[in-house]
Structure 1
Amino acid sequence: MATASAEMAQGNTDLSSRTEQASRRIADIIGLIDGIAFQTNIRVSQVGEAVVQMDQATQQNAALVEQSAAAASSLRAQAEQLVGAVSVFRLPGAAGAVRQLAA
């Protein structure tokens, strides 16, 4: 009976030890998952910030394109006015050059 009790006590000790080891392992795994989740949140936040910056750059580029188009249109109108103003002057052999500019 004493031997059976000793074996049972040893078995309980072994079981308790394994349970404690498993609990520590689970706590370690939870710690790793927590760390990974934290890093993932940081990365997602950084990606969000990058997307906002890209959106701002895209909007700025769109504004610059609109300004460039308006400037080009204005320059074309000014060039047409200049061709009209210069066309009153006649130089021998230069008539074709003014027509080419107007086109």
Structure 2
Amino acid sequence: SASISIYTQLSFFAKPLRKCLSSPSPSCPHHHGHGARSTVTEMTMMMMDTTMHRQLALKVMVMMMMTTGIMTMLLLHRWRVTTMEATIMLRLHE
């Protein structure tokens, strides 16, 4: 399916990011306060800054929201991702 191929493309950072979010290890520099959210922002920033990777970046946001429960309002606001876009991506992901 599409979501599996997307996950495969993202696995190179999805796994370490999820480990970072789930473990309060000092080896993770982002694990403090809103560190997890800023980590997602950093991970997604380059893709969102290019229209070519917008759909992939939306899938990243959806995947992280589904797997970590992180709110993506910051990302939604920063890149003006519409509610409709986010809703569509969630439905495609299910």
Same fold (TM over 0.5): no
Select the structure with the greater relative contact order (CA < 8 A; seq sep ≥ 6).
2
Task: Flag the structure with larger Rg.
Answer: 1
TM-score with structure 2 setting the length: 0.23
